[in-house]
Structure 1
């Protein structure tokens, strides 16, 4: 008979310390952390970045003669720090661990500023004074960073700053992580319970479960979970990824216990909880600052494209009117982010005979009813240009999974694991799958895999690469 799941009830904070008989703190799960509720919005960059910025701008209090160089140094340093991961969340906070990276990035930024200042100013005295100001700001930054880290550790130990964590798994590693989180509050985590498959409970799990994977979304809301830690779940990797791609898991801070301990496979800046190495998993959904950057770039690119391509749009509209008369735009229902429907706009290349044909016909590439003008516009993707308006409206993005009709979304979602996960983000005018040759009658499973890869490895440079490759494909006449 399956053992019952442990109910989630708030528990008082233990004050008795380790159990003398076992040398370990009790690991029974508990929730209802008031500290987690207060500090839920806090992130690492919110604490360190303002202090770093204040230190970098401090020379302006002495003299504003070098204000341009000081401002450039501040912006460049913050950007380099962010790119190097110095504002990412860490479980083991240590100023000495960060110091080599900190100094190296400071030297890189200051060297860049010195070279630019030397090229722009002939006065050696000017450059020397600027570098003296930068040296002062660098010293203040190092001092400020050390104080910031000390404050974070102190606040965690007093449980002023902590976040509820659910562990995915209930084996020996999960049990040890739970014990360490209870015993050492300096990691800033409050153990809220373990989640695993129902079969694990009957197969000798090391910890009782607060729920199964089917309950994960409800449990995240119930315990105000901020952090998910993948320890030793009884679940295939593909099933685990499908679980973590759900919308309710998208905003969680995701960590995983590193495999091949001691191999250094867990990155340049290893992190750990009680010497159990952890990897900070990249975001599996576009949200927060990353989404704001992407949305801003979409609006800028779509606005510029509509202005520059307005003569092309006018010629396409005229050609469509001459070819088939009124009704130059074709609107069709598509599925967007989180399953929401919207009407995509295209230049008409064919008039469907019935609504059923428009909803369920997979491709019209070989349809004889498509005129020469329609074939040319489809081959060059000119018929897609009105979707720039969909991008400005927020229905679509420049780069993302291509939109599909409701009939095919329902069909593919039922047949292919991971297909529905591609709707974590808005659909796109172009996509990584399309520029990788997955158009027409290519396998839908391959397209879904490329779409999910794009979402989980997004960067602004990846968007730029896809756009450049799209332009190359269009110039070669491979739009379809």
Structure 2
């Protein structure tokens, strides 16, 4: 019933989109012409046929609304493109206005997204009030089972309600229920309850070592219309909440891989190039003034260069304005700048305090070695020290390092004289990677500009 209603709403959105496009094209409200009416009817039929292939009418309980928006947009564009190609085959394409087709595409995408969002919000509201809930039986260990039950109870709008927990490893004298959810320890009794209570969702939160139990449950319920989902506990293995990906037709979970895919990184790379080019062009006079000041203040080169790790551990040479007197470090050792460090020049102290010494790194951004926003790269010698002391330290290099980052705008910048400081910085970097979005990048840039580049920990 809901699937039929969803199709009716989609057809209505397509029709309204066509009428709005015609009104915008002609400058006033008017009925569609004969050719446009035929195109509308034909594309409505195509939508009814093609939309299911994009997974639009599947259950979206607990899933991302943005994924639904992307699917419905792609589905409609595919329908319209197919309609245009077919109109060429019957020599009717010349009768259709190209402007109207473009307006129709944009208007329909907007109406489809708005309609999906409204339906999604209404269903969430109903589920939050206890309606349209789906009972779920969980088969798993006590700790992970309790976790899934807590997740369902904290998100009632997702539409899942815990009804039963099966834990065959618990003692007979163990708890009779978990947070109000009855616990069953006998497999046959659990299967009987699933059938008698009409439970249509069974989540197998069992370790891989329970292969026999998993196989037995799936076999026992092979003739029952129960959705059986395998939800392995990989929290101890993965640093990131990675989705299941398709690898050569086989489902795989990324335990250690970049959380930013090639497709998602395109707007980030475009922003990096545009922003870096604008900064370098606008601040060229300031670059010249700083270069002269550095040269006059102490002997040595204007630029300081140092090898750092970038994306996937590939090394590159980072650029900074020199802020210290020319000196030689002990092989394999890098001494961080400290408060009142005698090596820091007068001009260098000002540059470091205001972070103006970091400006040449926009050249690294243009070269594709760094990003405007990302985890800060550290000296190679520091990498060798902290990689074994701080969990997840090297995972920071799964994405491009940045000039500013989530850790920096939250006050974690400057000297890391204690392991605890580095742990805090890495914790913020991993949070950024786990929750990355282009919007978050823009937020960090705005926070950096609002708070300024100066900081009490920079010296």
**So what's the TM-score if we normalise by structure 1?**
0.50
Q: Is the 8 A contact 2:73 2:109 kept in 1?
A: no
Deviation (angstroms), 1:326: 4.7
Q: Secondary structure at the match of 1:420?
A: helix
Distance 1:342 1:178 in 2: 53
Report whether the alignment pairs 1:456 with 2:430. no
Report whether the alignment pairs 1:378 with 2:393. no
Pick one of 308, 314, 321 that aligns with 1:334: 308
Report whether the alignment pairs 1:471 with 2:445. no
Distance 1:375 1:469 in 2: 23
Distance 1:63 1:176 in 2: 58
Q: Is the 8 A contact 1:380 1:475 kept in 2?
A: yes
- Which residue of the partner structure matches residue 250 of structure 2? none
Deviation (angstroms), 1:376: 0.9
Per-residue deviation, residues 288-334 of structure 1 (Å, max 9, x unmatched): 32122211221121112111222222221121122124510000111
- Which residue of the partner structure matches residue 116 of structure 2? 101
Deviation (angstroms), 1:478: 5.0
- Which residue of the partner structure matches residue 107 of structure 2? 73
Q: Is the 8 A contact 2:298 2:345 kept in 1?
A: no
- Which residue of the partner structure matches residue 432 of structure 1? 406
Report whether the alignment pairs 1:62 with 2:96. yes
Q: Is the 8 A contact 2:299 2:325 kept in 1?
A: no
Deviation (angstroms), 1:352: 4.8
Report whether the alignment pairs 1:171 with 2:205. no
Pick one of 209, 223, 245 that aligns with 1:252: 245
Distance 1:168 1:329 in 2: 54
Deviation (angstroms), 1:183: 6.4
Distance 1:77 1:410 in 2: 54
- Which residue of the partner structure matches residue 51 of structure 1? 75
Deviation (angstroms), 1:479: 7.6
Q: Is the 8 A contact 1:432 1:466 kept in 2?
A: yes
Cα 1:176–1:319 shift into 2, 3 Å: farther
- Which residue of the partner structure matches residue 276 of structure 2? 302
- Which residue of the partner structure matches residue 343 of structure 1? 317
- Which residue of the partner structure matches residue 33 of structure 2? none
Q: Is the 8 A contact 2:306 2:319 kept in 1?
A: yes
Alignment of 1:153-302 (within 5 A): 169-171=208-210, 175=214, 179=218, 231-233=231-233, 237=235, 239-242=236-239, 252=245, 285-302=259-276
Distance 1:72 1:446 in 2: 45
Alignment of 1:353-432 (within 5 A): 353-356=327-330, 359-432=333-406
Cα 1:400–1:475 shift into 2, 3 Å: closer
Distance 1:345 1:404 in 2: 13
Q: What are structure 1's unaligned runs of at least 5 residues?
A: 1-41, 82-99, 106-166, 190-228, 255-279
Cα 1:356–1:288 shift into 2, 3 Å: same
Q: What are structure 2's unaligned runs of at least 5 residues?
A: 1-52, 56-66, 85-92, 121-205, 248-253
Q: What RMSD over aligned residues (CA atoms) do the two structures have, in Å?
A: 4.4
Q: Secondary structure at the match of 2:304?
A: strand
Q: Is the 8 A contact 2:370 2:401 kept in 1?
A: yes
Per-residue deviation, residues 390-430 of structure 1 (Å, max 9, x unmatched): 11111111111100111111211111211111111111111
Q: Is the 8 A contact 1:56 1:74 kept in 2?
A: no
Deviation (angstroms), 1:174: 8.0
Cα 1:371–1:352 shift into 2, 3 Å: closer
Distance 2:441 2:76 in 1: 30
Per-residue deviation, residues 260-309 of structure 1 (Å, max 9, x unmatched): xxxxxxxxxxxxxxxxxxxx99x971113212221122112111211122
Cα 1:301–1:173 shift into 2, 3 Å: farther
Q: Secondary structure at the match of 1:332?
A: strand
Q: Secondary structure at the match of 2:295?
A: helix
Distance 2:325 2:232 in 1: 55
Q: Secondary structure at the match of 1:398?
A: strand
Q: Secondary structure at the match of 2:307?
A: strand
Cα 1:291–1:469 shift into 2, 3 Å: same
Q: Is the 8 A contact 1:173 1:232 kept in 2?
A: no
Deviation (angstroms), 1:351: 3.4
Distance 1:177 1:376 in 2: 70
Q: Of the two, which has the highest radius of gyration? A: 2
Deviation (angstroms), 1:241: 2.1
Deviation (angstroms), 1:473: 3.0
Deviation (angstroms), 1:445: 0.9
Distance 1:359 1:404 in 2: 13
Distance 2:96 2:339 in 1: 69
Per-residue deviation, residues 61-88 of structure 1 (Å, max 9, x unmatched): 733454664354367568x58xxxxxxx
Cα 1:102–1:477 shift into 2, 3 Å: closer
